[in-house]
Structure 1
Amino acid sequence: MKIAYKSLIAGTTALAGMAFAGTAMAQEPMTIGITQNNVGVDSYQTTYEKAFIEAADADPSVETVVLDAGGDVARQIAQIQDLVQQQVDAIIIWPTNGKAVVPAVRAADKAGIPVVITNSNIAEEGFDFIKSFSGPDNITQGSRSAEIMCDKFKDMGIENEAQIVQISGQPGYTTAIERAKGFEDRLPEVCPNVTLLETQPGDWNREKSQRVMEAFLVKYDDIDGVYAGDDNMGVGALNAAKAAGRDGIIFVGATNFAVGYEAMARGEYWGSIYQSPVDDAKNALATAKAVVNGEDVPFLNYFDTPKITQDNMDQFTKPVF
């Protein structure tokens, strides 16, 4: 999308020159900086970055400064400060910690640079300093995951006795907090007699989640279901259960990864939430552009993330991450 502009048409050479100069200035590309959470931690973030760069490269109206915090809050704060000093036209932030970045976001807003938060929102006290959040509705995702699990338990006839464990994402990370909240609030509404035995963080890491599940299997003789904040962690838990010979556990995630999709196809993993990192990246870039162009943008600019289970997975293509 080209930057919209208006030029005055005048009858004098001087005014025509001014209009020409205004046109040249209006055609200059906007500069959008982005600081991401931790591109190397999982394939979703890696795919997001690739899609973001490709979308920006294909758009002549945009130049980008692409940074990655590597999961380090202090590094991300420094990157935000650096982008402010560069006087970019907008900053997109994928927060490493939704609360810790608020002061840096406030400083960017004070400097007159609009901020768009992507994928995982910042803490509510920072809402006054951002223009929009672009990403999934994480509470709805958690809620839908609870519905997927409850429906399966009802089909199995164990909704009044099932016991489950939860593997959450990185502590302090807004997505992890919201997906857990959505699940924990919704499950008692749809399956009030299901017992959540324990929650432990898997930090979005498959290997750590496998170790967490190994500990759960030792501690609890009866586990009917596992809810994981994403399929990367969920498959780690699945691997632990398979190694221990604990069959019949229902695994449900909150973001469908390729490994989760493949496990669903094998009949080992029941369901998840379908979320595209490509859509996520493109939505963030489009939101930032719209903000710079002065367009009206929803404060919570969500994209839809539907339920996916073994029953309907043929309606979805395998994720690319």
Structure 2
Amino acid sequence: MKLRNALAATTAVAALAFSGAAAAETYRIGITQNNVGVDSYQTTYEQAFIESAEADPDVEAVVLDAGGDVARQIAQIQDLVQQQVDAIIIWPTQGKAVVPAVRAAHNAGIPVVITNSNIAEEGFEFIKSFSGPDNITQGSRAAEIMCDKFKEMGIENEAQIVQISGQPGYTTAIERAKGFEDRLPEVCPEVTLLETQPGDWNREKSQRVMETFLTKYDDIDGVYAGDDNMGVGALNAAKAAGREGIIFVGATNFAVGYEAMGRGEYWGSIYQSPVDDAKNALATAKAILTGEEVPFLNYFDTPKITQDNMDEFTKPVF
């Protein structure tokens, strides 16, 4: 692959620059990503990962993308095992389906780090660490954001909402929905969740899902979307239908979500940086290879962001 060759060349140049000195060991770290082209978060993550690897003379990165195809990702993991890389980072396309390939990497003596979205629990024994956001906490915090707004509006005892979740079978989608659905009845027990439909992380599909919701339900007070890309799709549908007063709450604050918050059209989200996500994954893999202790669940913080406090956060770059 051109990208792999470019990274290898960069590492070779770095190694030459340090010739004559006691050079540190170079670690070959492979990564197979979920679907770089599906949204700007994943595109930015890849760019940040490549930049971090290029800046580290001790790292040679093999960067792959599964394109959302589970079979392709499994083949990529198998190829990385055959290459005998020092560590493998996996952004799973499907949390359960990749477990056998992860087990094979583990059996080959290659440490595995899962990034961004975790694998199914039965695969935990085969990985060294998960690096990424706590998606259940994100869903829980989104429920709190929505409930607090309903209380401010005085409709917490009657509000009706719909949910647009992410890609079915994808751990992030499952966990964010679970966190939201478990927390909402605790903080706003009278709020009714009318229906949940997947938006597959896609703005256009989410707009169509919301159009169906708007036709089906005369009274919708709030929308929870598994990320802001989908949330803005739902917002666009509501605007086109002339349905005002709906409270939109998302997760993974995209630039489009931040901008919509600034216009007063979108209430809140969860702030998550793809740059931090990528850097954390690479640092976790390298720490494992150098013998450092790392948490099994190596989370980075993802705080609440709403129209009330958005000035405290920089606009996302994705």
What TM-score do you get using the length of structure 1 for normalisation?
Answer: 0.92
- Of 18, 31, 35, the residue aligned with 2:28 is 31
Give the partner amino acid of 2:252: T
Q: Superposed, which structure 2 residues align to 1:89-100 within 5 Å?
A: 89-100=86-97
Q: Which residue of 2 aligns with 1:314?
A: 311
Q: Which residue of 2 aligns with 1:236?
A: 233
TM-fit CA distance, 1:254: 1.3
Q: Superposed, which structure 2 residues align to 1:100-115 within 5 Å?
A: 100-115=97-112
Q: Superposed, which structure 2 residues align to 1:16-27 within 5 Å?
A: 27=24
- Of 97, 118, 123, the residue aligned with 1:121 is 118
Take 1:24 and 1:172, find their aligned partners in 2: how far apart are those partners?
49
1:291 is the counterpart of 2:288: yes
Q: Which residue of 1 aligns with 2:268?
A: 271
Q: Which residue of 2 aligns with 1:196?
A: 193
User: How many residues align structurally?
Assistant: 299
Q: CA RMSD in A?
A: 1.1
Q: Which residue of 2 aligns with 1:205?
A: 202
What TM-score do you get using the length of structure 2 for normalisation?
Answer: 0.93
Which whole-Å deviations, capped at 9, do the CAs of 1:121-174 have from their partners, x for residues lacking one?
Answer: 000000000000000000000000000000000000000000000000000000
- Of 50, 53, 68, the residue aligned with 2:65 is 68
Take 1:25 and 1:243, find their aligned partners in 2: how far apart are those partners?
64
Give the partner amino acid of 1:130: I
SS in 2 for 1:172: coil
Q: Which residue of 1 aligns with 2:169?
A: 172
Take 2:304 and 2:227, find their aligned partners in 1: how far apart are those partners?
13
Give the partner amino acid of 1:76: Q
Q: Which structure is larger by alpha-carbon Rg, 1 or 2?
A: 1
Take 1:25 and 1:77, find their aligned partners in 2: how far apart are those partners?
38
Q: Which residue of 2 aligns with 1:218?
A: 215
SS in 2 for 1:40: helix
List gaps (5 residues or longer) in structure 2. Answer: 1-19
Q: Which residue of 2 aligns with 1:249?
A: 246
Take 1:27 and 1:65, find their aligned partners in 2: how far apart are those partners?
19
Which whole-Å deviations, capped at 9, do the CAs of 1:65-119 have from their partners, x for residues lacking one?
Answer: 0000000000000000000000000000000000000000000000000000000
List structure 1 segments (4+ residues) > 4 angstroms apart after TM superposition: 23-26
Q: Which residue of 2 aligns with 1:47?
A: 44
Take 1:29 and 1:233, find their aligned partners in 2: how far apart are those partners?
40
Percent of aligned positions that are identical: 91
CA pair 85-26 structure 1, distance change in 2 beyond 3 A: farther
Take 1:204 and 1:27, find their aligned partners in 2: how far apart are those partners?
41
Q: Which residue of 2 aligns with 1:140?
A: 137
1:262 is the counterpart of 2:259: yes
SS in 1 for 2:36: coil
Take 2:179 and 2:56, find their aligned partners in 1: how far apart are those partners?
36
SS in 2 for 1:268: coil
